Chains A and B, each alone.
Chain A
Amino acid sequence: MPDRKTTKLVLEPAQRTALVNTQRRLLLRGGLSLGGLAMLSGCNLQDGDTFDKVLWAMSRWNDKVQAWLFSQDKLAPTYSAGDITKPFPFNAFYPEYNVPEIDLSDYQLEVSGMVADKKPWTLENLRRLPQASQITRLICIEGWSAIGQWGGVPLKTFLQHIGADLSARYVGFKCADRYYSSIDMATALHPQTILALDFGGEALPPDFGNPLRLRVPTKLGFKNPKHIMAMFVTNSYPGGYWEDQGYNWFSGI
């Protein structure tokens, strides 16, 4: 019974099903519009459901290719302080005025799943762990990119500290704004993957995911969840807010 304490942070199963169905319908619509194109090549795949399945299967295939292409030794390019993008663009699945307000006084990061030590973490305790800082480029799936500076605890350090099973497949995150995401263990152990507490040398501001966000410079922006409330290690595929709607899960860069 992993993640029991944190179920309040995710959608109810019925809501989640409704959401997924809505999005699948949108994906399907895209598939149907391709029916005409498919006939150009003489294919007979006119059934939208078949298209949908083919697309999802291709996305899973691309997950595998990207996992194979990913190298833990390959560092994302780093930049100098002068290259930092100012102002850094705000981006979320909601407008800026909906950024969650988080009471920092009783904030605790919950930890669950395949880890030895499940005690929750205060921000002070997180700051006592070894810290790392980076100036890297965040690349959004939309195509824009921006250079920023993030600092915090390398996720590998944190996972080792809590006695996580490093042979598990996934590390998942649940956020204060209903967002959720997950990454593969190989990426979680990459030296530049950090649990960021700072942005631009200061504590993370609300717009950029206070008090804790994931910074993964080897993945697209949406794989960098903000306002993290809970983290878990698991072998069962956790998906993600956008991933469950159709964004490619691995989304490595």
Chain B
Amino acid sequence: MNTSRSPHPPARVRVHTLPVRLTHWLNVYAMACMFMSGWAIYNASPIFAFTFPEWATLGGWLGAATIWHFAVMWLLVANGLVYLLAGIFNGHLRRDLLSVSVADVRQDLAAALRMRLGHRIGHYNAVQKAMYLGVLLLGLLLVLSGLAIWKPVQLQALTALFGGFAAARVVHFLAMAGIGLFVVVHLLMVLLVPRTLPPMITGRAAPHPVGERQDA
């Protein structure tokens, strides 16, 4: 009915599937809650010589922070499982992430550092693949070390695997720090290549972005 207004826009390619987009944004919420409530719990008995500023914590006091942490952990884990199951069944993991080699990473990393790595919409470069696989593994480590300090008696074999309760707590912290670092890099990349953001919401993008080189 509106054909008179303008010609059809060029066909837009699908970049991110619905499960990826849905779990991505749910994960943003869940991770924000887990980070902030986790920092509040950390502050009650700091492992290192620093605490997190109160404005960055969630809950207001230790009791509420723990309730938040143990409430949102269900969302985090359920969301992670949906992502993994969808990724296994629709081939996203195999096609887009596991199809990476060390040589590719070395090549793309060198190009990226020289600001020569283009971004093809709908296609992960090798550095991206390595980063996403790495953060998934860190997520697994975070959940396992979390279970180890949540249930050091009922799941004592797991806790022992981490070297005991106190050590598992440090692992949990370091896994959190690793994921925090990923988030910082991830956000910087979005700032550098802002046109990658809309497809994570709509799922689609124009197939031929202008100037492939300029935006490394």
Q: Which of A5-13, A33-41, A151-159 contacts B (4 or more CB under 8 A)?
A: A33-41
Q: Do B58 and A246 touch across chains, with their CB atoms under 8 A apart?
A: no
Q: Does A132 contact B (CB under 8 A)?
A: no
Q: CB-CB < 8 A to A217: which residues of B? A: 153
| Complex CA–CA separation, A26 to B58 (angstroms) | 12
Task: Judge whether A129 is part of the interface by a CB distance below 8 angstroms.
Answer: no
Residues of A within 8 A of B33 (CB): 34, 37
Taking CB atoms and an 8 Å cut-off, the chain A residues in 1-47 that contact chain B are 23, 26-27, 29-31, 33-34, 37-38, 40-43
**Distance A44 CA – B189 CA, assembled complex (angstroms):** 30
Inter-chain contact A41/B26, CB cutoff 8 Å: yes
Contacting A at CB under 8 A, from B49-89, are 58-68, 70-71, 74
**Complex Cα gap A124–B64 (Å):** 42
Question: Taking the complex as formed, is A59 at the interface, i.e. its CB lies under 8 A from any CB of chain B?
Answer: yes
- B133 located at the interface, meaning its Cβ lies under 8 Å from any Cβ of chain A in the complex: no
Stretch at the interface among B5-13, B40-48, B137-145: B40-48
Residues of A within 8 A of B59 (CB): 27, 30
The answer to whether A143 and B45 touch across the interface, beta carbons within 8 angstroms, is yes
Q: Interface readout for A66-79 with B: 1 if CB under 8 Å, 0 if not?
A: 00011100111100
The contact of A74 among B36, B42, B58, B154, by CB within 8 Å, is B154
Pairwise interchain contact B67-A143, C-beta atoms closer than 8 A = no
Number of A interface residues in the complex (CB < 8 A): 44
A41/B60 contact (C-beta < 8 A), A59-B70, A143-B44 known: no
Kindly state the separation between the CA atoms of A137 and B169 in the bound complex, as whole angstroms: 15
| Chain B, residue nearest A136 (CB) | B153
Q: Whose C-beta in chain A lies nearest to the C-beta of B166?
A: A145
Q: Which residues on A sit within 8 Å (CB–CB) of B74?
A: 58
B17 to A: closest C-beta gap in Å = 19
| Separation of A145 and B156 alpha carbons in the complex (Å) | 15
A-B pairs with lowest CB-CB distance, top 8:
A58-B71, A30-B60, A246-B63, A41-B29, A142-B44, A143-B45, A142-B45, A30-B59
Other A-B pairs beyond A27-B67, A54-B71, 7, CB < 8 Å: A30-B68, A58-B70, A77-B153, A145-B165, A218-B154, A253-B151, A253-B152
Residues of B within 8 A of A (CB): 25-26, 28-29, 32-33, 36, 41-42, 44-45, 47, 58-68, 70-71, 74, 150-154, 156, 160, 165-166, 169
A to B CB contacts below 8 Å, 12 in the list: A30-B59, A30-B61, A37-B32, A70-B154, A77-B160, A137-B152, A140-B45, A141-B66, A143-B42, A246-B64, A253-B151, A253-B153
